[in-house]
Amino acid sequence: MALLQISEPGKSTSPHEHRLAIGIDLGTTNSLVASVRSGIADTMADENGNHLLPSVVHYADGKSSVVGNDALIAGQKDPVNTISSVKRMMGRSFSEINSVINRSSNRIVDTDTSVPRIETASGLKSAIEVSSDILKSLRDRAEKTLGGELFGAVITVPAYFDDAQRQATKDAAKLAGLKILRLINEPTAAAVAYGLDKRVNGIFVIYDLGGGTMDVSILKLNKGVFEVLATAGDAVLGGDDMDHLIVDYLVEESGEKNINDPVFKQSALTQARKIKENLLANDTTDIKLLLPGGEEWSGQLTREKMQTLVAPVVEKTLKPCKRAMQDAGIKKTDINGIVLVGGPTRMQIVRKLISEFFEQEPLTDIDPDKVVAVGAALQADMLAGNKNNDVLLLDVTPLSLGLEIMGGMVEKIIPRNSTIPVARAQEFTTFKDGQTAMSIHVLQGEREMVSDCRSLAKFELKGIPSLVAGAARIRVTFQVDADGLLNVSATELTSGIETRVEVIPSYGLTDGEIESMLKDSISHAGDDMAARALREQQVEADRLYEAVTAAIAQDGEALLSESKLSEIKTCLNTLDTVSKKTDRNAIKLAIEKLDKATQEFAAMRMDLGVSRALSGHNINEFTKEPD
């Protein structure tokens, strides 16, 4: 039953002014939808009173898709056509999906397009299509509850979702008939829900452990401004990994050999999830496992044993916590509170390890399942114009963005942990005389060389005026919007020609790629800087070699004696030889020697150039006062 809202005279919102906006937590295991009603943000239940919608979809031949609890039931008998944990497949390639869901009964098909498909009785389905069915179910629930057409939705994503995964989420929403108001990072949504409710200031850790992803963000809350100081995480780490560890234990205890039987795998996974839930309140739980032959195996599991089984997953989440604190430049004593997000954070072992690591008890007065959806609903209500903009969200980029420069090096344009939305520009120039095109290669990562970073996009700027090397001015602009999506443009400033690209890579980051990117950037920092310094010297050597060679071809015989020409050519040969080796000091000395040998030649060429320019003119032409 809807609540009656009573407002001060003249301060109520007119019905035609209030827009119906929702917040959606599109989770790996469960999803929720929330809205602000009568000034209170809360999640919406289905007709059976369930707030959580299992992120599971079942496809049958010739029938409509089934979502949620009904899909879970159908999956017991038909796991091949039942898709769960689809969030882990968003924005990923065929090989990546196979590595992510290699414990699943689903069959993945590598199609001609860049998007792989899942084979079902209703045909091939992409991860985007499956996610859209989940979003449609949440949309229908919201429209039924709110009694009207939706204005738009804010959908949450893990902080470590990259461009491909964010774009896939937006595509799924569009397919579900939802207008996206904004994508918001899950930890930031949790902070919105907590901060607005408590009206607090300070530094908070948002520890988000979901079914398929783990994020940790360090946020500074101050008078309605939510500034993300740093973020870290793992795009493929969560409760699903705990389930598989418990399944491995059940397989070992039951002695079952036919572990690839789809019905058995589904039964074992279902039991694993029940075990985690039951052991939240009980010290032991009974287990009934359906074996492939139709027999039933029974057993028991204690909370202590279960916590031992899942401990490796929880311990892996502490590394991102350490990294986020280092990036934010804070100590444990600076932290005012720890907000827990996600169903797995209700487990005792998670809360124990987190309290030990941060040396303080986490905040437990917030429902970890609902807090993300509630935060998204508050943000949606604001973006729909139903309330004053008294909250400012300042999120950050998880990894550095840059482009390739000569020598296979990376020039970082937007460093990681930069506040978004953000726009940064940098000017570049041509390397060769008469160069009329430039290739723009956009990269993501922390290393100094292109080969060690992830390629996002490539495009060309054509029509550059034919000028001497270094004369053209090309401004490259990187823009990251509030959803974390990147646009890159390149403009030649003298002619005004421009080209741009919306960076939508085909696939998401591979398993553990973000973690290894950051780890490698630290462990290889010294080697990377040495490699960059070497390449910079080699690029400078190549530039000088080409310039001097061209100058000799044009004016060498006219201006240089035979001995001087021989000296310069000897220096050129030496530079050409050492530049192909790895002795940076030798290259530097060869550059200096050639530069010294050509100084007089350069001055002579400059005098000759002036003489040519003045040829046929009178000096009075240049000193005459304008009319």
Q: For residue range 11-39, what is the model confidence (pLDDT) as tens digits?
A: 444 444 678 999 999 988 899 999 998 88
Q: How far is CA 314 from CA 278, 513, 614, in A?
A: 19, 19, 78
Mean pLDDT of 191-201: 67
User: What pLDDT score was predicted for residue 309?
Assistant: 93
Between CA 385 and CA 18 the distance in angstroms is 8
Same domain, 458 and 503: yes
Checking if the pLDDT of 177 tops 50, the result is yes
Based on the residue annotation, tell me whether 369 is a catalytic residue of this protein. Answer: no
Q: For residue range 500-534, what is the model confidence (pLDDT) as tens digits?
A: 766 644 334 333 444 454 455 556 666 666 776 77
Unique residue bearing structure tokens 């963000």: 217
Q: For residue range 403-416, what is the model confidence (pLDDT) as tens digits?
A: 888 777 788 888 77
Based on the residue annotation, tell me whether 381 is a catalytic residue of this protein. Answer: no
Same domain, 605 and 464: no
- Measured N-to-C along each axis, helices 69-77 and 262-278 cross at an angle, to the nearest 10 degrees, of 140
| Cβ-Cβ contacts under 8 Å for 97 (sequence gap 6 or more) | 89, 108, 116, 127
Of 46, 133, 171, 186, the catalytic one is 186
Of 25, 96, 171, 492, the catalytic one is 25
Would you mind telling me the total number of residues written for the chain in this entry? Answer: 627
Between CA 519 and CA 445 the distance in angstroms is 11
Reported as half-sphere exposure (CB side, CA atoms, 13 A), residue 298 has a value of: 1
Does 471 reside within a domain? yes
Count structural domains, the chain: 4
Does 106 reside within a domain? yes
Reported as half-sphere exposure (CB side, CA atoms, 13 A), residue 126 has a value of: 19
Beta carbons within 10 angstroms of residue 538's beta carbon: 20
Same domain, 565 and 598: yes
- Residue that terminates a domain, selected from 259, 290, 313: 313
Based on the residue annotation, tell me whether 208 is a catalytic residue of this protein. Answer: yes
Domain that holds residue 452: 401-511
What letter represents residue 102's amino acid? N
Same domain, 585 and 483: no
Based on the residue annotation, tell me whether 25 is a catalytic residue of this protein. Answer: yes
Does 324 reside within a domain? no
What letter represents residue 60's amino acid? A
Q: Give me the helices (H) in 446-598, please.
A: 513-523, 525-559, 562-578, 584-597
User: What pLDDT score was predicted for residue 98?
Assistant: 67
Does 320 reside within a domain? no
Unique residue bearing structure tokens 């809205």: 35
Of 162, 208, 241, 369, the catalytic one is 208
48 DSSP 8-state letter: T
CATH assignment at residue 74: 3.30.420.40
Of 87, 125, 136, 265, the catalytic one is 87
Q: Say what the pTM is.
A: 0.60
User: What pLDDT score was predicted for residue 315?
Assistant: 94
Same domain, 40 and 98: yes
Highest mean pLDDT among 17-21, 49-53, 267-271, 558-562: 49-53
Between CA 232 and CA 447 the distance in angstroms is 17
- Residue that terminates a domain, selected from 194, 229, 253: 194
Mean pLDDT of 380-388: 79
Same domain, 309 and 419: no
Same domain, 154 and 296: no
Q: What angle do CA 595, 596, 601 make, to 5 degrees?
A: 80
What letter represents residue 289's amino acid? L
Q: For residue range 364-374, what is the model confidence (pLDDT) as tens digits?
A: 777 888 989 99
Does 225 reside within a domain? no
CA dihedral 83→88→91→96, nearest 10 degrees, is -100
Same domain, 35 and 72: yes
